[in-house]
Amino acid sequence: MSQTPFSESTTLVTNEESPAVTQKQEQILQGAMRVFLRSGYAGTSMDRVSTEAGVSKQTIYSHFRDKKGLFKALIERVTIGNFQSVFCDGEFKDEPSVFLRDLTTIFFTKVADNPDYLPLLRLILAESENFPELAKLYARTVIQQGKKLLIKYFADHPELNVDDPEAIAQIFFGALVSHVIVQEMLYGKEMVPLSRDRLVNGLMSLVLAQQKNKES
Amino acid sequence: MSQTPFSESTTLVTNEESPAVTQKQEQILQGAMRVFLRSGYAGTSMDRVSTEAGVSKQTIYSHFRDKKGLFKALIERVTIGNFQSVFCDGEFKDEPSVFLRDLTTIFFTKVADNPDYLPLLRLILAESENFPELAKLYARTVIQQGKKLLIKYFADHPELNVDDPEAIAQIFFGALVSHVIVQEMLYGKEMVPLSRDRLVNGLMSLVLAQQKNKES
DNA sequence: GTCTATACCCTGATAGAC
DNA sequence: GTCTATCAGGGTATAGAC
């Protein structure tokens, strides 16, 4: 808890949240990712990680304090590395219907279609009680970023007539996330399929209807 | 897989989905529920279940085929027993704003505030890949019931001007479920709290705005 | 730093007494 | 049916050679 699990490295440390990672640590994390994302925390053995990473068990323990330390380092890395800036570095159109549709497109292509997203979300939810700091990191990194962007847009566009931007942003992204959960995790695709297009169209008609009311 | 894990009993078997459960089985399931919901599937040992239930390990194995069989029987029981008919046996007002608000109230009081709901959802999502049949059962029993009710209501009220009832129903319940996930599981309550009232008000203003557009 | 070997504990599942 | 006792295997973590 008090010492970092990472040793020194020649790689430049850009900021506190992405520590330098040596080639061996990289190798360990790659193997650990495959096993943890597939088998969960308790279902993963350090033996399996060592064979999957192609290093001995002791090598893992020399780089990471213990199983928990390895797990935390891995989840932080995957979360930050994959989803840190999906909603930040883009250029956005100002037209509401275009902006909202672009936002959903980013979510589906950069997040939902990322093959690591579903296993990561599953794992973070499963371990949210044992590793609350990882759950909070995920909420800040992935969910909160998109909501902030949408809230700011609502604030800049009073003509949309959005009474409670935070609530509407929560509903907007909640609908997207829950659609992925129901369709992909709970096998809704097989049982009650609902295309992304229909979801997005429904979502946009709801949000943009506020504007039309104001106009009339 | 081919034989039922339940033995005979004097209790009347009402239907295929709720088999008779003897007093000993009840005792085992009670203990198993506490352990599985708290520690997950892989994190639960049969030793722990036996001590928690106050029976020997062999007694468990005489009533249930193995760990998987016990887990399936337990999750089916909790899912069906707690959430089978939350959206079925109620009387509903016809007025749209009242109906929608009642629907959210049922969800929050009967589902979200049920102390078993969050651990159950967490467990089903965590094991959705290893136990797909349980994930499907959950989707049918809990999520699909509410959506059906809302879809029927939209069909009976064309004046609401809902273009795609299935999509709107998915958005509606998706927003409710994801609010619980973000606020309770991902510690949104501590980081970016958003009250249920604000969520519900936002949701209702979105859905009812469709109607106002039609009127004008 | 990295390996092999191993200590020590707990796992799911079973055998046999009563 | 229910118990105690036990099996073989795998769990995390560590010791010591190189």
> Which one has a higher pLDDT value, A77 or B214?
A77
pLDDT in tens, A124-183: 999 999 999 999 999 999 999 999 999 999 999 999 999 999 999 999 999 999 999 999
8 Å CB contact between B72 and B134: yes
* B15 CB neighbour count, 10 Å cutoff: 6
pLDDT in tens, A21-58: 888 999 999 999 999 999 999 999 999 999 999 999 99
Long-range contacts of A14-17 (CB under 8 A, 24+ apart): A17/A76, A17/A80
CA–CA gap between residue B148 and residue B140 (Å, rounded):
10
**Chain D positions with any atom < 7 A from a protein CB:** 1-6, 10-16
B60 closest-nt by C1' vs CA: D2
Q: Tell me which chain A residues have a C-beta less than 8 angstroms from the C-beta of B147.
A: 192
- The tokens describing A142, both together, are 């992935």
Strand boundaries in chain B, DSSP class E = none
Q: Which of B126, B202, B207 sits opposite A122 (nearest CB)?
A: B126
The three-point CA angle A173-A174-A180 to 5° equals 95
pLDDT of residue A214: 66
pLDDT of residue B91: 87
- The tokens describing B216, both together, are 């004008």
Distance from the Cα of residue B143 to its chain's centroid: 7
Spacing of B121 CA from C6 C1' in Å: 41
> Are B186 and A136 within 8 A, CB to CB?
yes
Instruction: Out of A78-92, B2-16, B133-147, pick the least confident.
Output: B2-16
